[in-house]
A and B are shown apart, each in its own frame.
Chain A
Amino acid sequence: MSRLRRREALWFYLFASPWIIGFVVFLLGPMIASIYISLTDWDSFTPPKFVGLENYTRLLTEDPVFWKALWNTFFYAAISVPLGLGIGLWLANLLNKQVRLRKVFRTLIYLPTLVPLVATAMIFKMVLAPSGPLNDVLGVFSIPGPSWLLESIWVKPALILLSVWGAGGATVLLLAAMKGIPRELYEAAEVDGAGAFRQFWSITFPQLTPIIFFNLIMGLIGAFQVFSQVYILTKGGPDNASQMMVPLLFNEAFSFYHMGYASALSWLLFAVILVFTLLAFRTARRWVFYETEVK
Protein backbone atom coordinates (compact mmCIF):
# COMPACT_ATOMS: atom_id res chain seq x y z
CA MET A 1 0.00 0.00 0.00
CA SER A 2 1.34 3.41 -0.90
CA ARG A 3 1.97 6.02 1.75
CA LEU A 4 -0.94 8.06 0.48
CA ARG A 5 -3.30 5.09 0.60
CA ARG A 6 -2.21 4.31 4.16
CA ARG A 7 -2.84 7.88 5.15
CA GLU A 8 -6.29 7.72 3.56
CA ALA A 9 -7.13 4.52 5.43
CA LEU A 10 -5.98 6.12 8.66
CA TRP A 11 -8.25 9.08 8.05
CA PHE A 12 -11.14 6.75 7.26
CA TYR A 13 -10.84 5.02 10.61
CA LEU A 14 -10.40 8.36 12.34
CA PHE A 15 -13.54 9.79 10.73
CA ALA A 16 -15.53 6.61 11.28
CA SER A 17 -14.35 6.29 14.89
CA PRO A 18 -17.46 7.89 16.43
CA TRP A 19 -19.61 5.18 14.91
CA ILE A 20 -17.09 2.40 15.59
CA ILE A 21 -16.70 3.41 19.25
CA GLY A 22 -20.45 3.82 19.60
CA PHE A 23 -21.01 0.43 18.00
CA VAL A 24 -18.65 -1.30 20.43
CA VAL A 25 -19.72 0.57 23.58
CA PHE A 26 -23.47 0.96 23.02
CA LEU A 27 -24.32 -2.02 20.82
CA LEU A 28 -21.83 -4.89 20.55
CA GLY A 29 -20.78 -4.79 24.20
CA PRO A 30 -24.33 -4.52 25.50
CA MET A 31 -25.47 -7.29 23.12
CA ILE A 32 -22.88 -9.69 24.45
CA ALA A 33 -23.72 -8.61 28.00
CA SER A 34 -27.40 -9.15 27.23
CA ILE A 35 -26.79 -12.73 26.11
CA TYR A 36 -24.99 -13.41 29.38
CA ILE A 37 -27.58 -11.61 31.52
CA SER A 38 -30.35 -13.59 29.83
CA LEU A 39 -28.72 -16.75 31.18
CA THR A 40 -28.72 -15.52 34.76
CA ASP A 41 -31.09 -14.71 37.57
CA TRP A 42 -30.18 -11.12 38.39
CA ASP A 43 -31.82 -8.21 40.19
CA SER A 44 -28.97 -5.78 39.26
CA PHE A 45 -28.04 -5.27 42.94
CA THR A 46 -26.72 -8.65 44.09
CA PRO A 47 -24.28 -10.77 42.05
CA PRO A 48 -25.96 -12.58 39.12
CA LYS A 49 -26.68 -16.30 39.46
CA PHE A 50 -26.09 -18.41 36.35
CA VAL A 51 -29.19 -20.45 35.51
CA GLY A 52 -28.56 -21.56 31.93
CA LEU A 53 -31.58 -21.51 29.66
CA GLU A 54 -34.07 -21.45 32.50
CA ASN A 55 -35.33 -17.94 31.68
CA TYR A 56 -36.13 -19.00 28.13
CA THR A 57 -37.85 -22.24 29.11
CA ARG A 58 -39.84 -20.47 31.80
CA LEU A 59 -40.97 -17.83 29.30
CA LEU A 60 -41.95 -20.35 26.66
CA THR A 61 -43.53 -23.00 28.85
CA GLU A 62 -44.63 -21.51 32.17
CA ASP A 63 -45.50 -17.89 31.62
CA PRO A 64 -49.07 -17.41 30.35
CA VAL A 65 -48.62 -13.64 30.31
CA PHE A 66 -45.78 -13.95 27.79
CA TRP A 67 -47.96 -15.89 25.36
CA LYS A 68 -50.80 -13.49 25.84
CA ALA A 69 -48.50 -10.51 25.23
CA LEU A 70 -47.08 -12.21 22.14
CA TRP A 71 -50.55 -12.87 20.76
CA ASN A 72 -51.67 -9.31 21.53
CA THR A 73 -48.62 -7.88 19.80
CA PHE A 74 -49.26 -10.08 16.73
CA PHE A 75 -52.89 -9.05 16.68
CA TYR A 76 -51.99 -5.37 16.99
CA ALA A 77 -49.26 -5.47 14.32
CA ALA A 78 -51.21 -7.67 11.89
CA ILE A 79 -54.19 -5.33 11.87
CA SER A 80 -52.84 -1.84 12.53
CA VAL A 81 -50.03 -1.89 9.96
CA PRO A 82 -51.94 -3.15 6.88
CA LEU A 83 -54.97 -1.09 7.87
CA GLY A 84 -52.90 2.08 8.23
CA LEU A 85 -51.13 1.44 4.92
CA GLY A 86 -54.40 0.63 3.16
CA ILE A 87 -56.05 3.82 4.36
CA GLY A 88 -52.89 5.76 3.55
CA LEU A 89 -52.90 4.35 0.01
CA TRP A 90 -56.59 5.06 -0.45
CA LEU A 91 -56.17 8.70 0.64
CA ALA A 92 -53.04 9.13 -1.47
CA ASN A 93 -54.96 7.89 -4.51
CA LEU A 94 -57.69 10.43 -3.85
CA LEU A 95 -55.17 13.24 -3.44
CA ASN A 96 -53.42 12.20 -6.63
CA LYS A 97 -56.43 13.35 -8.63
CA GLN A 98 -56.75 16.93 -9.82
CA VAL A 99 -58.05 18.10 -6.48
CA ARG A 100 -58.40 21.75 -5.62
CA LEU A 101 -56.81 22.67 -2.28
CA ARG A 102 -54.73 19.51 -2.42
CA LYS A 103 -52.08 20.97 -0.12
CA VAL A 104 -54.69 21.86 2.49
CA PHE A 105 -56.12 18.33 2.50
CA ARG A 106 -52.65 16.85 2.55
CA THR A 107 -51.65 19.02 5.49
CA LEU A 108 -54.80 18.19 7.45
CA ILE A 109 -54.35 14.47 6.85
CA TYR A 110 -50.68 14.66 7.80
CA LEU A 111 -51.20 16.81 10.89
CA PRO A 112 -51.95 13.94 13.33
CA THR A 113 -48.59 12.31 12.57
CA LEU A 114 -46.81 15.42 13.83
CA VAL A 115 -48.36 15.05 17.28
CA PRO A 116 -45.86 13.38 19.63
CA LEU A 117 -46.97 9.96 20.87
CA VAL A 118 -47.39 11.11 24.47
CA ALA A 119 -49.72 13.90 23.38
CA THR A 120 -51.55 11.44 21.11
CA ALA A 121 -52.04 9.15 24.07
CA MET A 122 -53.41 12.04 26.14
CA ILE A 123 -55.79 12.96 23.33
CA PHE A 124 -57.07 9.41 22.98
CA LYS A 125 -57.42 9.06 26.73
CA MET A 126 -59.89 11.91 26.45
CA VAL A 127 -61.53 10.81 23.17
CA LEU A 128 -61.99 7.21 24.33
CA ALA A 129 -63.27 8.02 27.82
CA PRO A 130 -66.56 6.19 28.61
CA SER A 131 -68.45 9.49 28.31
CA GLY A 132 -65.98 10.98 25.83
CA PRO A 133 -66.54 12.43 22.36
CA LEU A 134 -66.35 9.13 20.47
CA ASN A 135 -69.13 7.58 22.52
CA ASP A 136 -71.12 10.81 22.21
CA VAL A 137 -70.96 10.44 18.43
CA LEU A 138 -71.96 6.77 18.65
CA GLY A 139 -74.78 7.83 20.96
CA VAL A 140 -76.18 10.06 18.22
CA PHE A 141 -76.69 6.89 16.16
CA SER A 142 -78.05 5.22 19.30
CA ILE A 143 -75.10 2.85 19.49
CA PRO A 144 -74.09 2.30 23.11
CA GLY A 145 -70.32 2.92 23.07
CA PRO A 146 -68.11 0.61 25.14
CA SER A 147 -65.67 1.78 27.81
CA TRP A 148 -62.92 1.37 25.26
CA LEU A 149 -59.79 1.19 27.39
CA LEU A 150 -61.47 -0.62 30.27
CA GLU A 151 -62.99 -3.57 28.41
CA SER A 152 -60.80 -6.46 27.38
CA ILE A 153 -62.42 -6.95 23.96
CA TRP A 154 -62.29 -3.26 23.03
CA VAL A 155 -58.87 -2.26 24.32
CA LYS A 156 -56.90 -3.65 21.34
CA PRO A 157 -59.24 -2.09 18.73
CA ALA A 158 -58.83 1.18 20.66
CA LEU A 159 -55.04 1.00 20.36
CA ILE A 160 -55.37 0.14 16.67
CA LEU A 161 -57.61 3.17 16.22
CA LEU A 162 -54.91 5.33 17.78
CA SER A 163 -52.32 3.98 15.37
CA VAL A 164 -54.58 4.42 12.33
CA TRP A 165 -54.97 8.09 13.25
CA GLY A 166 -51.42 8.42 11.92
CA ALA A 167 -52.15 6.88 8.50
CA GLY A 168 -51.36 10.28 6.96
CA GLY A 169 -47.65 9.54 7.21
CA ALA A 170 -48.02 6.79 4.61
CA THR A 171 -50.30 9.01 2.52
CA VAL A 172 -47.67 11.69 2.10
CA LEU A 173 -44.95 9.19 1.17
CA LEU A 174 -47.16 7.26 -1.25
CA LEU A 175 -48.50 10.44 -2.81
CA ALA A 176 -44.96 11.61 -3.53
CA ALA A 177 -44.23 8.23 -5.13
CA MET A 178 -47.43 8.35 -7.19
CA LYS A 179 -46.28 11.62 -8.73
CA GLY A 180 -43.31 9.73 -10.11
CA ILE A 181 -45.37 7.19 -12.05
CA PRO A 182 -45.10 7.98 -15.77
CA ARG A 183 -48.33 9.46 -17.14
CA GLU A 184 -47.87 7.54 -20.38
CA LEU A 185 -48.82 4.33 -18.59
CA TYR A 186 -52.23 5.75 -17.72
CA GLU A 187 -52.68 7.26 -21.18
CA ALA A 188 -52.00 3.88 -22.77
CA ALA A 189 -54.37 2.16 -20.36
CA GLU A 190 -57.06 4.71 -21.10
CA VAL A 191 -56.71 4.12 -24.81
CA ASP A 192 -57.06 0.41 -24.10
CA GLY A 193 -60.30 1.18 -22.27
CA ALA A 194 -59.22 0.33 -18.72
CA GLY A 195 -61.46 1.82 -16.00
CA ALA A 196 -60.29 3.74 -12.93
CA PHE A 197 -60.22 0.67 -10.70
CA ARG A 198 -58.34 -1.39 -13.26
CA GLN A 199 -55.82 1.40 -13.77
CA PHE A 200 -55.24 1.63 -10.02
CA TRP A 201 -54.82 -2.11 -9.66
CA SER A 202 -52.68 -2.67 -12.76
CA ILE A 203 -50.58 0.50 -12.80
CA THR A 204 -50.60 2.48 -9.56
CA PHE A 205 -50.40 -0.42 -7.12
CA PRO A 206 -47.62 -2.41 -8.86
CA GLN A 207 -45.57 0.77 -9.32
CA LEU A 208 -45.87 1.52 -5.62
CA THR A 209 -45.12 -1.97 -4.31
CA PRO A 210 -41.46 -1.26 -3.46
CA ILE A 211 -42.49 1.67 -1.24
CA ILE A 212 -45.46 -0.20 0.19
CA PHE A 213 -43.17 -3.11 0.96
CA PHE A 214 -40.61 -0.86 2.66
CA ASN A 215 -43.33 0.76 4.76
CA LEU A 216 -44.85 -2.61 5.61
CA ILE A 217 -41.54 -3.88 6.97
CA MET A 218 -40.76 -0.72 8.91
CA GLY A 219 -44.35 -0.58 10.16
CA LEU A 220 -44.29 -4.18 11.39
CA ILE A 221 -40.96 -3.69 13.14
CA GLY A 222 -42.33 -0.56 14.78
CA ALA A 223 -45.62 -2.19 15.74
CA PHE A 224 -43.86 -5.10 17.43
CA GLN A 225 -42.08 -2.54 19.60
CA VAL A 226 -45.18 -0.57 20.58
CA PHE A 227 -44.70 0.81 24.07
CA SER A 228 -45.68 4.37 25.01
CA GLN A 229 -49.39 4.27 24.19
CA VAL A 230 -49.83 0.96 26.03
CA TYR A 231 -47.85 2.13 29.03
CA ILE A 232 -49.72 5.43 29.26
CA LEU A 233 -53.25 4.32 28.41
CA THR A 234 -53.70 0.83 29.78
CA LYS A 235 -50.55 -0.39 31.54
CA GLY A 236 -51.34 -3.66 29.75
CA GLY A 237 -54.77 -4.05 31.32
CA PRO A 238 -57.52 -4.94 31.75
CA ASP A 239 -56.51 -8.46 32.68
CA ASN A 240 -53.45 -8.30 30.35
CA ALA A 241 -55.78 -7.89 27.37
CA SER A 242 -53.50 -5.18 25.98
CA GLN A 243 -50.21 -6.41 27.38
CA MET A 244 -47.57 -6.33 24.64
CA MET A 245 -43.98 -7.47 24.34
CA VAL A 246 -42.10 -4.26 25.14
CA PRO A 247 -44.31 -3.03 28.00
CA LEU A 248 -44.00 -6.51 29.51
CA LEU A 249 -40.23 -6.36 29.09
CA PHE A 250 -40.12 -2.89 30.62
CA ASN A 251 -42.13 -4.04 33.62
CA GLU A 252 -39.99 -7.11 34.20
CA ALA A 253 -36.80 -5.05 33.98
CA PHE A 254 -37.63 -1.77 35.68
CA SER A 255 -40.53 -2.57 37.98
CA PHE A 256 -39.55 -6.04 39.20
CA TYR A 257 -35.79 -5.90 38.45
CA HIS A 258 -35.89 -9.32 36.76
CA MET A 259 -32.96 -8.36 34.54
CA GLY A 260 -32.22 -11.90 33.38
CA TYR A 261 -35.82 -12.71 32.57
CA ALA A 262 -36.30 -9.39 30.75
CA SER A 263 -33.12 -9.91 28.72
CA ALA A 264 -34.34 -13.32 27.61
CA LEU A 265 -37.60 -11.66 26.63
CA SER A 266 -35.73 -9.10 24.53
CA TRP A 267 -34.01 -11.86 22.56
CA LEU A 268 -37.32 -13.57 21.91
CA LEU A 269 -38.66 -10.21 20.68
CA PHE A 270 -35.67 -9.92 18.37
CA ALA A 271 -36.31 -13.45 17.07
CA VAL A 272 -39.95 -12.62 16.35
CA ILE A 273 -39.01 -9.43 14.48
CA LEU A 274 -36.33 -11.28 12.53
CA VAL A 275 -38.67 -14.09 11.51
CA PHE A 276 -41.29 -11.63 10.29
CA THR A 277 -38.79 -9.52 8.40
CA LEU A 278 -37.35 -12.56 6.66
CA LEU A 279 -40.82 -13.88 5.93
CA ALA A 280 -41.76 -10.57 4.35
CA PHE A 281 -38.64 -10.61 2.21
CA ARG A 282 -39.31 -14.18 1.11
CA THR A 283 -42.81 -13.39 -0.06
CA ALA A 284 -41.75 -10.03 -1.53
CA ARG A 285 -40.57 -11.57 -4.80
CA ARG A 286 -44.13 -12.59 -5.58
CA TRP A 287 -45.68 -9.16 -5.31
CA VAL A 288 -43.05 -6.44 -5.22
CA PHE A 289 -42.34 -4.99 -8.63
CA TYR A 290 -38.94 -3.58 -9.49
CA GLU A 291 -38.58 -1.64 -12.71
CA THR A 292 -35.01 -2.83 -13.10
CA GLU A 293 -36.10 -6.46 -13.42
CA VAL A 294 -38.10 -5.67 -16.53
CA LYS A 295 -35.52 -3.62 -18.37
Chain B
Amino acid sequence: MATVISAAAPPQQEPQPGPERTPSRDRVMGVFRATPFTYATLIIVSAVLCVPLVFVVSIALSSDQTVNANTFTILPREFHWDNFTRVFSTDLPMQRFLLNSVIISTGAVIGQMLSSGLVGYAFARLRAPGKNALFIVVLATMMIPAQITMIPQFILFKELGWVNTFLPLIVPNFFSNAFNVFLVRQFVSRLPSEIDEAAMVDGLGFFGIYRRIMLPMLAPVLIAIGIFTLTATWGDFMGPLIYLNDETKMPLALGVQYITSTSQALQAPPWNLVMVGSILLTLPMILVYYLGQRYLYEMDISGGSAGVK
Protein backbone atom coordinates (compact mmCIF):
# COMPACT_ATOMS: atom_id res chain seq x y z
CA MET B 1 0.00 0.00 0.00
CA ALA B 2 2.67 2.44 1.11
CA THR B 3 4.46 2.42 -2.22
CA VAL B 4 1.39 3.21 -4.23
CA ILE B 5 0.24 6.00 -1.98
CA SER B 6 3.59 7.70 -1.71
CA ALA B 7 3.92 7.65 -5.48
CA ALA B 8 0.50 9.23 -5.84
CA ALA B 9 0.51 11.70 -3.03
CA PRO B 10 3.07 14.40 -3.95
CA PRO B 11 0.85 16.40 -6.37
CA GLN B 12 -1.28 17.33 -3.42
CA GLN B 13 1.48 19.16 -1.60
CA GLU B 14 2.09 21.50 -4.45
CA PRO B 15 -0.46 24.29 -4.59
CA GLN B 16 -1.15 24.89 -8.25
CA PRO B 17 -2.04 28.27 -9.63
CA GLY B 18 -4.69 28.73 -12.27
CA PRO B 19 -8.15 27.29 -12.68
CA GLU B 20 -7.46 24.32 -10.40
CA ARG B 21 -8.08 26.40 -7.33
CA THR B 22 -11.45 28.07 -7.62
CA PRO B 23 -11.59 31.41 -5.87
CA SER B 24 -13.83 31.20 -2.85
CA ARG B 25 -17.07 32.86 -3.82
CA ASP B 26 -19.62 34.20 -1.41
CA ARG B 27 -21.26 30.81 -1.37
CA VAL B 28 -20.86 27.56 -3.23
CA MET B 29 -23.55 27.05 -5.83
CA GLY B 30 -25.85 24.07 -5.52
CA VAL B 31 -24.34 21.96 -8.28
CA PHE B 32 -20.85 22.48 -6.99
CA ARG B 33 -21.61 21.59 -3.40
CA ALA B 34 -20.05 18.29 -2.38
CA THR B 35 -22.41 16.14 -0.36
CA PRO B 36 -21.46 13.15 1.80
CA PHE B 37 -22.72 11.06 -1.09
CA THR B 38 -20.11 12.69 -3.35
CA TYR B 39 -17.34 11.76 -0.95
CA ALA B 40 -18.67 8.24 -0.44
CA THR B 41 -18.75 7.64 -4.19
CA LEU B 42 -15.30 9.08 -4.76
CA ILE B 43 -13.79 7.07 -1.92
CA ILE B 44 -15.36 3.82 -3.10
CA VAL B 45 -14.41 4.35 -6.74
CA SER B 46 -10.82 5.35 -5.94
CA ALA B 47 -10.50 2.35 -3.65
CA VAL B 48 -11.87 -0.09 -6.25
CA LEU B 49 -9.56 1.34 -8.92
CA CYS B 50 -6.51 1.10 -6.68
CA VAL B 51 -7.15 -2.34 -5.18
CA PRO B 52 -5.46 -4.15 -8.10
CA LEU B 53 -2.37 -1.97 -7.61
CA VAL B 54 -2.27 -2.76 -3.91
CA PHE B 55 -2.46 -6.45 -4.80
CA VAL B 56 0.48 -6.02 -7.14
CA VAL B 57 2.63 -4.61 -4.36
CA SER B 58 1.45 -7.30 -1.95
CA ILE B 59 2.27 -10.11 -4.37
CA ALA B 60 5.60 -8.54 -5.27
CA LEU B 61 6.54 -8.74 -1.59
CA SER B 62 5.34 -12.31 -1.07
CA SER B 63 7.54 -15.36 -0.80
CA ASP B 64 7.54 -18.06 -3.46
CA GLN B 65 5.60 -20.41 -1.17
CA THR B 66 2.84 -17.89 -0.52
CA VAL B 67 2.47 -17.20 -4.23
CA ASN B 68 2.45 -20.86 -5.20
CA ALA B 69 -0.10 -21.71 -2.53
CA ASN B 70 -2.19 -18.73 -3.66
CA THR B 71 -2.48 -17.48 -0.08
CA PHE B 72 -1.43 -13.87 -0.60
CA THR B 73 -3.62 -11.17 0.90
CA ILE B 74 -4.50 -7.67 -0.15
CA LEU B 75 -2.32 -6.03 2.49
CA PRO B 76 1.12 -7.61 2.51
CA ARG B 77 1.80 -9.77 5.55
CA GLU B 78 5.36 -10.52 4.57
CA PHE B 79 7.95 -8.20 3.17
CA HIS B 80 10.37 -10.01 0.93
CA TRP B 81 12.13 -6.94 -0.38
CA ASP B 82 14.80 -9.29 -1.68
CA ASN B 83 12.38 -10.08 -4.53
CA PHE B 84 13.44 -6.74 -5.98
CA THR B 85 17.08 -7.83 -6.05
CA ARG B 86 16.38 -11.48 -6.76
CA VAL B 87 14.64 -10.52 -9.96
CA PHE B 88 18.01 -9.39 -11.28
CA SER B 89 19.91 -12.50 -10.28
CA THR B 90 17.69 -15.36 -11.46
CA ASP B 91 18.19 -16.89 -14.87
CA LEU B 92 15.63 -14.37 -16.19
CA PRO B 93 17.68 -11.63 -17.85
CA MET B 94 15.66 -8.89 -16.14
CA GLN B 95 18.48 -6.35 -16.02
CA ARG B 96 18.98 -7.00 -19.74
CA PHE B 97 15.26 -6.34 -20.37
CA LEU B 98 15.50 -3.10 -18.43
CA LEU B 99 18.61 -1.95 -20.27
CA ASN B 100 17.03 -2.80 -23.64
CA SER B 101 13.94 -0.77 -22.73
CA VAL B 102 16.12 2.19 -21.81
CA ILE B 103 18.12 1.99 -25.06
CA ILE B 104 15.06 1.68 -27.31
CA SER B 105 13.09 4.40 -25.54
CA THR B 106 16.01 6.83 -25.46
CA GLY B 107 16.62 6.36 -29.17
CA ALA B 108 12.94 6.83 -30.00
CA VAL B 109 12.60 9.95 -27.83
CA ILE B 110 15.71 11.60 -29.30
CA GLY B 111 14.50 10.80 -32.81
CA GLN B 112 11.04 12.29 -32.32
CA MET B 113 12.29 15.40 -30.53
CA LEU B 114 14.91 16.13 -33.19
CA SER B 115 12.66 15.60 -36.19
CA SER B 116 9.24 16.82 -35.01
CA GLY B 117 10.45 20.28 -34.02
CA LEU B 118 12.10 20.86 -37.37
CA VAL B 119 9.15 19.65 -39.45
CA GLY B 120 6.51 21.35 -37.30
CA TYR B 121 8.36 24.66 -37.47
CA ALA B 122 8.58 24.41 -41.25
CA PHE B 123 4.84 23.78 -41.57
CA ALA B 124 4.01 26.67 -39.25
CA ARG B 125 6.31 29.38 -40.54
CA LEU B 126 8.04 28.76 -43.87
CA ARG B 127 6.21 29.55 -47.10
CA ALA B 128 6.52 27.17 -50.01
CA PRO B 129 4.40 26.03 -52.95
CA GLY B 130 2.55 22.82 -52.15
CA LYS B 131 2.82 23.30 -48.41
CA ASN B 132 -0.91 23.34 -47.69
CA ALA B 133 -1.56 20.27 -49.81
CA LEU B 134 1.26 18.53 -47.97
CA PHE B 135 -0.24 19.47 -44.62
CA ILE B 136 -3.53 17.89 -45.61
CA VAL B 137 -1.57 14.72 -46.34
CA VAL B 138 -0.04 14.97 -42.85
CA LEU B 139 -3.51 15.12 -41.31
CA ALA B 140 -4.84 12.35 -43.53
CA THR B 141 -2.08 9.96 -42.50
CA MET B 142 -3.31 10.12 -38.91
CA MET B 143 -6.33 8.11 -40.01
CA ILE B 144 -4.35 5.20 -41.40
CA PRO B 145 -4.05 2.36 -38.90
CA ALA B 146 -0.55 1.04 -38.30
CA GLN B 147 -1.72 -2.47 -39.24
CA ILE B 148 -1.84 -1.52 -42.93
CA THR B 149 1.89 -0.89 -43.07
CA MET B 150 2.86 -3.53 -40.52
CA ILE B 151 3.51 -6.36 -42.96
CA PRO B 152 5.34 -4.42 -45.70
CA GLN B 153 7.44 -2.69 -43.06
CA PHE B 154 8.36 -6.06 -41.62
CA ILE B 155 9.41 -7.24 -45.09
CA LEU B 156 11.40 -4.03 -45.58
CA PHE B 157 13.26 -4.40 -42.30
CA LYS B 158 13.81 -8.09 -42.94
CA GLU B 159 15.41 -7.26 -46.30
CA LEU B 160 17.63 -4.72 -44.54
CA GLY B 161 18.68 -7.41 -42.08
CA TRP B 162 17.27 -5.39 -39.17
CA VAL B 163 15.11 -8.15 -37.67
CA ASN B 164 16.23 -9.01 -34.15
CA THR B 165 17.88 -5.61 -33.74
CA PHE B 166 16.55 -2.45 -32.10
CA LEU B 167 16.70 -0.52 -35.36
CA PRO B 168 13.09 -1.11 -36.56
CA LEU B 169 11.88 0.23 -33.21
CA ILE B 170 14.14 3.29 -33.16
CA VAL B 171 14.92 4.48 -36.69
CA PRO B 172 11.34 5.33 -37.87
CA ASN B 173 11.16 7.83 -35.01
CA PHE B 174 13.83 9.96 -36.68
CA PHE B 175 11.29 10.67 -39.40
CA SER B 176 8.73 12.23 -37.05
CA ASN B 177 5.03 11.42 -37.18
CA ALA B 178 1.88 13.24 -38.17
CA PHE B 179 0.53 13.79 -34.68
CA ASN B 180 3.77 15.34 -33.39
CA VAL B 181 4.16 17.52 -36.48
CA PHE B 182 0.62 18.74 -35.86
CA LEU B 183 1.35 19.49 -32.19
CA VAL B 184 4.48 21.52 -32.96
CA ARG B 185 2.77 23.36 -35.80
CA GLN B 186 -0.10 24.41 -33.55
CA PHE B 187 2.35 25.46 -30.87
CA VAL B 188 4.51 27.57 -33.21
CA SER B 189 1.42 29.18 -34.77
CA ARG B 190 0.61 30.68 -31.39
CA LEU B 191 4.04 32.30 -30.99
CA PRO B 192 4.24 35.90 -32.24
CA SER B 193 5.84 35.97 -35.70
CA GLU B 194 7.56 39.31 -34.95
CA ILE B 195 10.22 37.30 -33.15
CA ASP B 196 11.49 35.46 -36.19
CA GLU B 197 10.93 38.48 -38.44
CA ALA B 198 13.19 40.52 -36.17
CA ALA B 199 15.77 37.74 -36.21
CA MET B 200 15.66 37.69 -39.99
CA VAL B 201 16.23 41.46 -40.16
CA ASP B 202 19.22 40.89 -37.92
CA GLY B 203 20.59 38.56 -40.57
CA LEU B 204 19.88 35.11 -39.17
CA GLY B 205 19.19 32.39 -41.71
CA PHE B 206 16.25 29.98 -41.42
CA PHE B 207 18.30 27.36 -39.68
CA GLY B 208 19.75 30.00 -37.37
CA ILE B 209 16.26 31.16 -36.48
CA TYR B 210 15.19 27.61 -35.75
CA ARG B 211 18.30 26.71 -33.79
CA ARG B 212 18.75 29.92 -31.77
CA ILE B 213 15.26 31.44 -31.51
CA MET B 214 12.68 28.69 -31.97
CA LEU B 215 14.26 25.70 -30.31
CA PRO B 216 14.44 27.30 -26.83
CA MET B 217 10.80 28.37 -27.12
CA LEU B 218 9.72 24.94 -28.30
CA ALA B 219 10.89 23.31 -25.08
CA PRO B 220 7.39 22.72 -23.62
CA VAL B 221 5.97 21.07 -26.73
CA LEU B 222 9.14 19.05 -27.32
CA ILE B 223 9.08 17.83 -23.74
CA ALA B 224 5.44 16.81 -24.17
CA ILE B 225 6.38 14.95 -27.36
CA GLY B 226 9.26 13.31 -25.50
CA ILE B 227 6.84 12.12 -22.82
CA PHE B 228 4.31 10.82 -25.36
CA THR B 229 7.05 8.96 -27.22
CA LEU B 230 8.60 7.58 -24.06
CA THR B 231 5.25 6.32 -22.79
CA ALA B 232 4.39 4.74 -26.12
CA THR B 233 7.79 3.10 -26.63
CA TRP B 234 8.31 1.97 -23.06
CA GLY B 235 4.99 0.15 -22.99
CA ASP B 236 5.02 -0.99 -26.63
CA PHE B 237 4.36 -4.69 -26.90
CA MET B 238 3.49 -5.41 -30.51
CA GLY B 239 6.60 -3.85 -32.06
CA PRO B 240 9.10 -5.85 -29.99
CA LEU B 241 6.92 -8.95 -30.40
CA ILE B 242 7.22 -8.68 -34.18
CA TYR B 243 10.87 -7.74 -34.44
CA LEU B 244 12.68 -9.25 -31.47
CA ASN B 245 12.75 -12.97 -30.83
CA ASP B 246 16.05 -13.26 -29.00
CA GLU B 247 15.59 -13.30 -25.23
CA THR B 248 18.56 -10.99 -24.65
CA LYS B 249 17.15 -8.36 -27.03
CA MET B 250 13.72 -8.04 -25.44
CA PRO B 251 12.60 -4.88 -23.68
CA LEU B 252 10.88 -5.10 -20.31
CA ALA B 253 7.32 -4.95 -21.66
CA LEU B 254 7.92 -8.03 -23.78
CA GLY B 255 10.17 -9.67 -21.21
CA VAL B 256 7.57 -9.59 -18.45
CA GLN B 257 5.09 -11.34 -20.70
CA TYR B 258 7.80 -13.72 -21.89
CA ILE B 259 8.40 -14.91 -18.33
CA THR B 260 4.75 -15.89 -17.90
CA SER B 261 4.41 -17.50 -21.29
CA THR B 262 7.51 -19.70 -21.08
CA SER B 263 6.97 -21.05 -17.61
CA GLN B 264 3.28 -21.76 -18.22
CA ALA B 265 3.73 -25.29 -19.50
CA LEU B 266 6.04 -26.48 -16.74
CA GLN B 267 4.82 -24.72 -13.64
CA ALA B 268 2.96 -21.64 -12.51
CA PRO B 269 4.87 -18.47 -13.40
CA PRO B 270 6.77 -16.88 -10.50
CA TRP B 271 4.01 -14.35 -9.87
CA ASN B 272 5.96 -12.41 -7.28
CA LEU B 273 8.78 -11.80 -9.74
CA VAL B 274 6.31 -11.02 -12.53
CA MET B 275 4.73 -8.38 -10.31
CA VAL B 276 8.16 -6.96 -9.47
CA GLY B 277 8.68 -6.74 -13.23
CA SER B 278 5.31 -5.01 -13.62
CA ILE B 279 6.27 -2.50 -10.95
CA LEU B 280 9.59 -1.83 -12.70
CA LEU B 281 7.56 -1.29 -15.86
CA THR B 282 5.10 1.07 -14.18
CA LEU B 283 7.21 3.21 -11.83
CA PRO B 284 9.08 5.13 -14.56
CA MET B 285 5.72 6.02 -16.13
CA ILE B 286 4.42 7.43 -12.84
CA LEU B 287 7.65 9.35 -12.37
CA VAL B 288 7.59 10.76 -15.89
CA TYR B 289 3.95 11.75 -15.58
CA TYR B 290 4.57 13.43 -12.25
CA LEU B 291 7.56 15.40 -13.53
CA GLY B 292 5.98 16.28 -16.86
CA GLN B 293 2.39 16.85 -15.73
CA ARG B 294 2.21 20.55 -16.55
CA TYR B 295 3.53 20.09 -20.08
CA LEU B 296 1.09 17.28 -20.73
CA TYR B 297 -1.83 19.30 -19.45
CA GLU B 298 -1.04 22.14 -21.77
CA MET B 299 -0.66 19.88 -24.80
CA ASP B 300 -3.56 17.55 -24.09
CA ILE B 301 -6.05 20.33 -23.83
CA SER B 302 -4.89 22.42 -26.76
CA GLY B 303 -4.27 19.35 -28.91
CA GLY B 304 -7.47 17.72 -27.79
CA SER B 305 -9.82 20.50 -28.71
CA ALA B 306 -7.89 21.80 -31.69
CA GLY B 307 -8.13 18.37 -33.23
CA VAL B 308 -11.89 18.54 -33.74
CA LYS B 309 -12.64 22.16 -34.26
Contacts and interface: CB of A to CB of B under 8 A. Distances in A.
B285 A13 contact: no
A94 B42 contact: yes
Contact of A127 (B52, B151, B279): B52
Contacts of A196: 30-31
Contact of A228 (B138, B147, B237, B274): B237
A19 B119 contact: yes
B20 interface: yes
B152 A30 contact: yes
Most buried by A among B4, B42, B138, B146: B42
Contact of B282 (A114, A186, A290): A114
Contacts of B177: 19, 22
Interface stretch (A52-60, A67-75, A152-160, A248-256): A248-256
Nearest to A222: B145
Contact of B119 (A18, A99, A126, A177): A18
B8 interface: yes
A30 B158 CA distance: 13
B149 A26 contact: yes
Contacts of B263: none
Given A115-B285, A262-B151, A270-B145, A9 B128 contact: yes
**Chain A at the B interface: mostly helix, strand, loop or mixed?**
helix
Contacts of B9: 104, 107
Contacts of B103: none
A50 interface: no
B286 interface: yes
A12 B122 contact: yes
B298 to A, nearest CB: 10
B141 A123 contact: no
Contact of A114 (B242, B289, B304): B289
Interface of A: 5, 8-9, 11-13, 15-16, 18-23, 25-27, 29-31, 33-34, 37, 44, 91, 94-101, 103-105, 107-109, 111-112, 114-119, 121-127, 131, 133, 165, 168, 173, 176-177, 179-180, 183, 186-187, 190, 195-196, 199-200, 210-211, 213-215, 221, 224-225, 227-228, 231-232, 246, 249-250, 253-254, 259, 262-263, 266-267, 269-270, 273-274, 277, 288, 290, 292
Q: Which 8 A-B pairs have the closest CB atoms?
A: A22-B175, A116-B235, A15-B122, A30-B152, A9-B128, A12-B128, A119-B278, A12-B126
